[in-house]
Amino acid sequence: MKSFLASARAGNGLDRVDRDVDLLEEQWQRHGEVSLERFWENCKAKDTGSLLDRLAHLVALIKSDLRCRFERGQIAEVAHYLDRFPDLRQAHSRVISLIYEEFCLREEKGEAPDVETFCERYPAWKDSLLSQLQYHHLLSQAAGLSTPKARFPEAGGQFEEFELVSLIGKGGSSRVFLARDLSLGGKRVVLKVSLDRGQEPKTQGALDHPHIVPVHAVAFQPDQGLRGLSMPYRPGLPLDEIVKRVRPVERPKLARILWDVTVDGTSAFAPAHPQEKHPSPHRREPTGDRWNGFPVEGTYAQGVAWIAMILARALHYAHGMQTFHRDVKPGNILLTLDHGPQLLDFNLAESPHAAHQAESAMLGGTLPYMAPEQIEAFLNPDLWGKVGARADIYSLGLVLRELLTGQAPDLPDEKTPPARAMSDLLDRRTRLVTDVRQFNPQIPHAVQAIVDRCLCFNPDDRYPDALSLVEDLERFLTRQPLRVAVNPSRRERIGNWVTRNRARIVGHTVYLALIGILGYHWVAPMLKPDPATLPVLRQAVKDIDDGHAGRAIVPLRGLVLEYPGHPLPPTLLGIAQGVSHSLVEDDAQVSMNTGLNLPSAESKLLEWARENPSLARQLQDFVTSRFDLLIQYKTNAARRDSIDVKASPSTDEQGVERKYYETMLKVLALALRIDPASSTIRTQMATVEEFFGNYESAHLRLTELIDAARARGGRKDRDELIDWIVRRSRVAIRWAAQLRRRGDAASSKRALALIEQATKAMGDCEPVVADLVVLPDRPNSAIERVYDFYWISSETWLAMGEFARDLGQHAQARSAFQSAKKAFDCLTAFSREHSLVHERPAEVETLWKRVRAGLLAH
């Protein structure tokens, strides 16, 4: 049933999900029907991953459940699962994957679903589905074409002017031969014979780099549909053969093994021609310029990092020529005796979107090394514009991971149709384990950080370009602090510092004595610079400011570990996590609270803000993200309540909401210290004060904003003025109710004044709101503004009517309740027009009952 071949390796990171899928399928076999909700609750309790990880876990189970039902003749629809698991709607790409699975299962069942009709069932995802399903047919047709199998030449034969000496490489759609070019007097060359597709000769021939194999000539056999690329013979081994011989799973210790297996394997792979000079296979170490800097006496991890650095340089050059490789894998990398690492085969660089390339990608081993966005683009060609330099960085990261651990990426089952295999692989990409130290704890933490950065699922979170990757690899090799990735190991960083400064340390006996007296762990913090001066922190702040907060999370998390007593890294981390929405919301809460609760947090953060005033806006954005998450949380809770028929929020839900507001209160207090004039921050603080029942302070703050807006005038101020008047009226209602409960005359008088002020202010706004109602192109913000106005207007007049009723002023009460009815009618009419009634049905019903009770009483 599975689309991927079972992996024999242990601890591949997908074990937990795969085990749960196996268990679910086993229960289907045993019982014939399984409650997925109950099964998922058990799995979820053991899943400690992020929200995205848990959703990927759930999607894998739903796909399995879908397959089980289809196998038993049941026709299941993804729509039913979306209703049962509403959190799925947060993950757009995962929903697309599920709907696509349903489509494939229907086809396998013998149906021929019409693409347009099928997509109409899922309007929220229709556009993305249309592109993917239309291309699905092209891929299926390409895979099912009954083209004759290519007849590749064999060693000992001839291909045009080339005599084929020996076969040195074999792929799904190509053969690589050691050959002699008869037109050049029998000069030894490498000839790659492949199906005549793509633009590889044009692309690779235009590149001139010492670590990219050049194409010297092209020969064709049109009748066979074959093409031969002649390249200079550079004795060496493909990297996939190197991996087999080095056996990284046995944890090699020295870089030398990479050179030794290259030398030892070259003769066996391509025996020397008796009339040509051949490098001695017994050389102790590399001597060519292209091996310059290789740490032959270094660790295995250093040797691997050096190879990755050279390849990243070659990619940087190609990217500068506006050429993206899109097929970086061990089979397209050579370790040569004289020319060092060599990159070849740019066959996907120019024509990646052709349908036949998908089948070639599977046969040639390209698919397992593809970046997530590249897999998505094969499924939907409209997305090819997103496949650039960072896709090559991801693929190189997988090569680096394999060289370090011996763990090759998952291989698709060759019997699986290309489109289906790609969809399955994309799901597994979300659960890819990048922890190379899990397989070999000897691998340095710095290398782990580099691999993590290369293999981020989101392209924006990876290295911004190949040159940045080169710099970090070079810094690792020279024991310098990483520039982009963050080494989380303090001991490793201190050790590197000591190594770089050994001469200076040895010359300072006082320093050595100090270490001896005070101890390493006491002196180590003294060696560290202020985090505010670190380039990595400055870059993280820039990423947040530029709208790429997700990129800042990993480096800031490393700084939190490195500086556990400093409030700046955790505070910035909380901001990045909050505004990026890339992690579970509690992560942002924890990070922010950790930073703000540290001793001297306020003084240090204010000091930082004096030179970095954008901190106030960043804190403001963090609070905005909290409000957004609370709205989402309440919406989900309301859906649950409507299903469970619960009368009021649970204690747990109230506790979650209170924790959010407690954090926001601390954040806004700091933000106001930095920028006391910010109207947005003051508005946010008023909302938080209202939540905690500090109505007097909230009312005063909003009144100051209203007075300032009235003084300025202008369209923007008019819109904000409406918002602030509505907010203040809501606060006034609650404050008045609080005052009335005191029972004394002074409090009642103050309460009545608040309500009267609110009704007058809302009445003054009504003509402006009426203008907003008739705008033909009003934006969502205007719709929300009108909706809130009519709602609070209804509540304000109700409060006035109830107050007048209690005072025995029946005529005034009747008038107020009639005004409340008028506002409520406007609310319901406007809600129906914009399909808003369903958002808060219980609250609308409660409001109407109060209006009706007031009218009936008078």
Contact 692, 665 (CB under 8 A): yes
Which runs of consecutive H residues, i.e. helices, occur in 645-776? 651-674, 679-691, 695-712, 715-740, 745-773
> Which of 703, 726, 858, 704 lies closest to 786 in space, CA to CA?
726
Q: Which distant-in-sequence residues (6+ apart) come within 8 Å of 244 by Cβ?
A: none
Neighbours of 214 (CB within 10 A): 16
> Which of 684, 682, 549 lies closest to 627 in space, CA to CA?
684
Q: SS3 of 172, please?
A: coil
pLDDT digits (tens, 9 = 90+) for 529-578: 788 888 888 888 988 888 888 778 878 887 887 788 888 999 998 888 88
Residue numbers in the chain where pLDDT is lower than 50: 1-13, 142-147, 200-202, 274-279, 281-282, 349-356, 359, 362-364, 520, 582-585, 640, 642-649, 651-652, 774-779, 837-839
Give me the pLDDT at residue 145, please. Answer: 42
Give me the pLDDT at residue 643, please. Answer: 42
Give me the pLDDT at residue 403, please. Answer: 95
- Name the burial class of residue 476, with classes exposed (0-12), middle (13-18) and buried (19+) by CB atoms within 10 angstroms of its CB: buried
Residue type, 433: V
Give me the pLDDT at residue 3, please. Answer: 40
Concatenating the DSSP letter of every residue in 329-349 gives SGGGEEEETTTEEEE---TTS
Measure the N-to-C terminal CA separation of the chain; round to a whole number of Å. 70
Give me the pLDDT at residue 681, please. Answer: 95
Do the strands 187-195 and 217-221 form a parallel or antiparallel pair, or are they unpaired?
unpaired
Measured in degrees and rounded to the nearest 5, phi and psi for residue 602 equal: -60, -45
Give me the pLDDT at residue 225, please. Answer: 82
Q: Nearest 5 degrees, angle CA 119-CA 125-CA 130?
A: 45
Which runs of consecutive H residues, i.e. helices, occur in 352-489? 355-363, 372-379, 389-405, 418-429, 445-454, 466-477
Neighbours of 283 (CB within 10 A): 13
Contact 407, 304 (CB under 8 A): no
CA of 704: how far to CAs of 258, 686, 716, 769, in Å?
Answer: 72, 11, 17, 22
Residue 66 and residue 102: Cα distance in Å, rounded? 7
Contact 299, 380 (CB under 8 A): no
3-state secondary structure labels for all residues of 53-119: HHHHHHHHHHHHHHHHHHHCCCCCCHHHHHHHCHHHHHCHHHHHHHHHHHHHHHHHCCCCCCHHHHH
Residue 794 and residue 799: Cα distance in Å, rounded? 9
Concatenating the DSSP letter of every residue in 616-651 gives HHHHHHHHHHHHHHHHHHHHHHHHHHHHHT-SS--H
HSE-up (13 A, CA, CB side) for residue 714: 7
Residue 324 and residue 199: Cα distance in Å, rounded? 12
Residue 177's DSSP bridge partners are 167, 191
Residue 412 and residue 528: Cα distance in Å, rounded? 48
3-state secondary structure labels for all residues of 261-278: HHHHHHHHHCCCCCCCCC
Contact 613, 619 (CB under 8 A): no
Give me the pLDDT at residue 404, please. Answer: 95
Give me the pLDDT at residue 810, please. Answer: 86
Residue 97 and residue 95: Cα distance in Å, rounded? 5
> Which of 106, 96, 103, 98 lies closest to 64 in space, CA to CA?
98
Residue 770 and residue 793: Cα distance in Å, rounded? 13
CA of 441: how far to CAs of 8, 11, 181, 436, 473, in Å?
Answer: 20, 14, 49, 8, 19
Residue 379 and residue 425: Cα distance in Å, rounded? 12
